Amino acid sequence: MNYASIRKCDIANGEGVRVSLFVSGCTHRCKGCFNEEAQDFNYGSPFTDETESEIFVALEPAHIAGLTILGGEPMEPSNQACLAPFLKRFREKFGAEKTLWIYTGCTLEQLKDPASRWRTDATDEILSMTDVLVDGPFIEELKDISLQFRGSSNQRILRLHSF
């Protein structure tokens, strides 16, 4: 998996001050996407052990509320395969001390549907570690800049767990 960028002091993509990982690769191709360059699976840099360590160090300060994964599309099947073990290590290291937000253009229903192309062997594990899922594709005609943590009014903020 490649990633487009890491923001170590992000207040736009979840509650509190967060570390945000923007993964590369997205097949949704939403009209008006704010991060169009990250739709390319080859964009950015490879996600390595060093990348993981850099993120974990950035998460250590007490004022950092948690980790946000967005993109691109974190729930692309190929990205899920890389994210699941990373997120497991995140939970082992930080437990309930830090929250995990994931932004996806998929709906929760698509991710849970056994017939969906988005559902993989890693989907349930990822969702079980996720505190908040912001789901649904960005729809330019429903864009609303007054919405907190969302780009369009069809997107939902779903609290899955409270660790």
* C-alpha separations of 162 from 60, 99, 100, 101, 158 in Å: 20, 8, 10, 11, 11
- From the list 123, 116, 133, 139, the residue with the least C-alpha distance to 83 is 123
pLDDT at residue 152 in the model: 94
State the CATH number of the domain containing residue 7.
3.20.20.70
The model's pLDDT over 100-124, given as tens digits with 9 standing for 90+, comes to 999 999 999 999 999 999 999 999 9
pLDDT at residue 162 in the model: 63
Residue 69: which domain range? 2-159
Tokens standing for residue 124: 């349930």
DSSP state letter for 143: B
Tokens standing for residue 35: 């991060």
pLDDT at residue 145 in the model: 92
Residue 123 in contact with residue 111, Cβ under 8 Å?
yes
pLDDT at residue 83 in the model: 98
First and final C-alpha spacing in the chain: 27
* C-alpha separations of 62 from 18, 51, 65, 99 in Å: 11, 20, 7, 12
pLDDT at residue 29 in the model: 81
Instruction: Indicate the number of domains in the chain.
Output: 1
pTM: 0.94
The model's pLDDT over 4-43, given as tens digits with 9 standing for 90+, comes to 999 999 999 999 999 999 999 998 887 777 777 888 899 9
pLDDT at residue 38 in the model: 81
Q: How many whole angstroms separate alpha carbon 152 and alpha carbon 147?
A: 8
Whether pLDDT at 79 is above 90: yes
Q: How many whole angstroms separate alpha carbon 97 and alpha carbon 15?
A: 14
Residue 140 in contact with residue 155, Cβ under 8 Å?
no
